[in-house]
Amino acid sequence: MELVEAIILSVLAASTPLLIAATGELVTERSGVLNLGVEGMMIVGAACGFGGAWLSGSIIVGALCGILAGAALSLIFALMTLGLAVNQVATGLALTILGIGLSGLIGARFVGERISTAPHLHIPGLSDIPLVGRILFGEDAFVYLSIALIIGVWWFLYRTRAGLVLRACGDNHVSAHALGYPVLRIRLLAVLFGGACAGLAGAYLPLAYTPFFIPGMTAGRGWIALALVVFSSWRPARLVIGAYLFGAVTILQLHAQGAGIGIPSQFMSALPYLATVIVLVLLSRTRTGGSTAPAALGTVFVPDR
């Protein structure tokens, strides 16, 4: 029971940054914008989040620094793609390269430093329940925030008029503009939200997952978050399943290595990314594999008046 509990807790911790980053990217893509710079925004969020927490001694300040850093990078992306109508794919890739280099510059002075990670919730009696106690009532605030975030996004997209307008901008921006909706402003807000989520997801890594910062600590999680949006068919409920599935693959390969299974460690470490490729290939071969994507995704919009 203790081993099962430890594995589940590890899966939750590994899945949380994927869920937060993918949730923000889902909203961005639902508005019709394809931002491939999630990895860059995450690693800058990790550097700024750790730096903020180390300098202030506050996890909350660190999380806010990560959010602001991700939003700032996403603003650059928005100015290029929405303001200047630059190609979104090329800009997103450039943003990732910029983020990786910028994080190394910001985090250089913090390498080797350590902080206290985010505290875990403890409710006397409830947190002590075997197996489910620590899983339901003993996590850190980031885990509960990620769940609240995906529920809030689902409610916004499918239960509010603003969510309907955002989805309309992603499906047909010309018609949305003809009806009088400010397509560029809506997309700007969606891009900023996605950047803030990516920054928070990156900040989670040094603030709650590990108590230190190292260059490249996101280790491709931003790309997995992008794949999760496709895996979920741009639906929040499926996104939760995908995030925890990929988190489980990441953790189980570590336990398999610890158990001494005779498989090369390099192959085990590549399993999460191999699973990403396999899932995307399977989705592309299904009859409705790409039909649920926003129709105007990645298309530049220039209003005629």
Q: What is the pLDDT of residue 291?
A: 53
pLDDT higher for 60 or 285? 60
- Can you give the residue range of the structural domain that contains 180? 2-117+140-285
User: Structural domain tally of the chain?
Assistant: 1
Judged against a pLDDT cut of 60, whether residue 305 lies above it is answered with: no
In a domain, 135, yes or no: no
Q: What is the pLDDT of residue 136?
A: 87
pLDDT higher for 76 or 227? 76
Question: Where does residue 178 rank: exposed (0-12), middle (13-18), buried (19+ CB within 10 A)?
Answer: exposed
In a domain, 174, yes or no: yes
Q: What is the pLDDT of residue 289?
A: 47
pLDDT higher for 201 or 6? 201
In a domain, 169, yes or no: yes
What pLDDT digit, counting tens, does each position of 262-273 carry? 677 677 667 777
How many other β-carbons are positioned within 10 Å of the β-carbon of residue 119?
10
In a domain, 88, yes or no: yes
In a domain, 300, yes or no: no
Judged against a pLDDT cut of 70, whether residue 169 lies above it is answered with: yes
Q: How far apart are CA 200 and CA 198, in angstroms?
A: 5
In a domain, 298, yes or no: no
Judged against a pLDDT cut of 60, whether residue 86 lies above it is answered with: yes
Judged against a pLDDT cut of 70, whether residue 288 lies above it is answered with: no
Percent of the chain with pLDDT over 70: 94
Q: Locate 89 and state its tokens.
A: 């794919």
Q: What is the pLDDT of residue 45?
A: 96
Residue 65's Cα: distance from chain center in Å? Answer: 16
Out of 103-107, 120-124, 141-145, least confident range: 120-124
Out of 30-34, 161-165, 185-189, 250-254, least confident range: 250-254
Mean confidence (pLDDT) of the chain: 89
- As beta bridge partners, residue 212 has 114
CB 58 within 8 A of CB 275: no
What pLDDT digit, counting tens, does each position of 183-241 carry? 999 999 999 999 999 999 999 999 999 999 999 899 889 999 998 998 888 999 989 99
Using alpha carbons, select from 231, 129, 145 the residue that is nearest to residue 196. Answer: 145
Q: What is the CATH number of the domain that holds 103?
A: 1.10.3470
- Return the top range by mean pLDDT from 61-70, 130-139, 174-183: 61-70
Percent of the chain with pLDDT over 90: 63
In a domain, 134, yes or no: no
Judged against a pLDDT cut of 90, whether residue 255 lies above it is answered with: no
What sign does the dihedral 287-293-294-297 (CA atoms) show?
negative
What angle (nearest 5°) sits at the alpha carbon of residue 270, between those of residues 17 and 194?
A: 25
Residue 119's Cα: distance from chain center in Å? Answer: 21
Q: What is the pLDDT of residue 63?
A: 96
What angle (nearest 5°) sits at the alpha carbon of residue 181, between those of residues 175 and 184?
A: 95
Per-residue pLDDT, averaged over 8-22, amounts to: 93
What pLDDT digit, counting tens, does each position of 34-49 carry? 999 999 999 999 999 9
DSSP conformation letters of 130-160: TTHHHHHHS-BHHHHHHHHHHHHHHHHHHHS
In a domain, 197, yes or no: yes
Q: What is the pLDDT of residue 292?
A: 76
Q: What is the pLDDT of residue 124?
A: 83
